[in-house]
Structure 1
């Protein structure tokens, strides 16, 4: 196994995780494909000599540690971690319960933290590695009905940007992936849950939004197999990007956000620049 790099991917039982695992195998990686049900992961990804399927609940730190131990026991190392597992709790902020909001952050933010915390000691010993985290355009631009999801994804963005210089001295790189709309399982009932309507002011907008999103399911323009192949290409380059906008729509979102930030920085430049102590040099 010395000549093969080892990639560990979370959430490989369905959706984009399956495509990433298959693309990694096709690219010559040894793959540790993880999910809550190893049987479902094995069924989804298929058989391969260099494939290990492992049970992993990303919300459980002990489960993350056990999965990494299994990966090292089988392959001796972990070169690439892809934090992919996640779900979507949608609804207007006032109608999302505190428990549901916490659950969203627990899975989509603390899940990657748990797995990365388990993997980093291995990568530091190797003095090499790449941590890839699947974020979203919702981690760049917030929108209504996405408060919990965006909160978790914005958290991922800040965490990964701050982690990058911490681990760089040990040969470890990071990459944020911000997909736009891809034809994945994200909007299926298995991955998306909606807040129960409880406030009259929101009922009509909730019905309109849920109807529109359900109609969008399976019609998204992005091809997740192409995303996985492109991701594996970037994983293999000498200097992977710190941030990758996946999809033409994602590129547009980042460009628009950049323009908005520049406009906002300039809008009150004089006032912003007048806040120093009078005795400042």
Structure 2
């Protein structure tokens, strides 16, 4: 039986100095108490209105999902000429913090939700650029041109993460990426928050000269990312997680999306103390031929 969910948008947070109010969608189950929170970061150009295949699935499983719209969203039309553009990567991380700061008023704006949220249990999930944003909250840092790690933006309120198609290290960026995306030089050695990494074995990025294994760097190099789900034939959309029937999905696969739903939900429910057996069951299962689970 599927639990009904309710979604409210846009909830607007004024953020001084941002130039544009921060818009947030909240999606939650209509029943249940002591509900954990999932903070979700969308990929480049997306918005709070995307990723329904994941968000609705998590909410039906008893999680409250908060989705901010970042300044790079196509819905806001912030161009490279805008003085804020060069710092969007940093603003993204700040936006996630603002959403957590406003957790009480945001959840209070959803009919029937007040009093049912456990604000002490928070996880963060991100796809693509959103994975880079979330990784910073989990402990990753950005290396400068001399290889020196920048400031820590770790948020101790977040106790677990799921990183979807998250970009790897900066040693083998293409010339374009190296010139335009200076923040794509992560140091994963300080990412200690328990995390699940999900990547496709056919995800060939135009930003790196490496192959699809680039998207598994965070698993290999981070002490916190202890589990990896690799999707067979999966490209950057991981089968179509960003929406139902979206045109940019080049590897459309209901089977891949279903496995991402199942694995991410199980991991979150275990990591957030809802069901201790959920993730071990997925980890022990044979998910071939759709994917493979590795742990360290």
**TM-score, normalising length: structure 2:** 0.43
Structure number with bigger Rg:
1
Whichever structure has more helix as a proportion of its residues is 1
Q: RCO higher in 1 or 2 (8 Å CA, sep ≥ 6)?
A: 1
Whichever structure has more strand as a proportion of its residues is 2
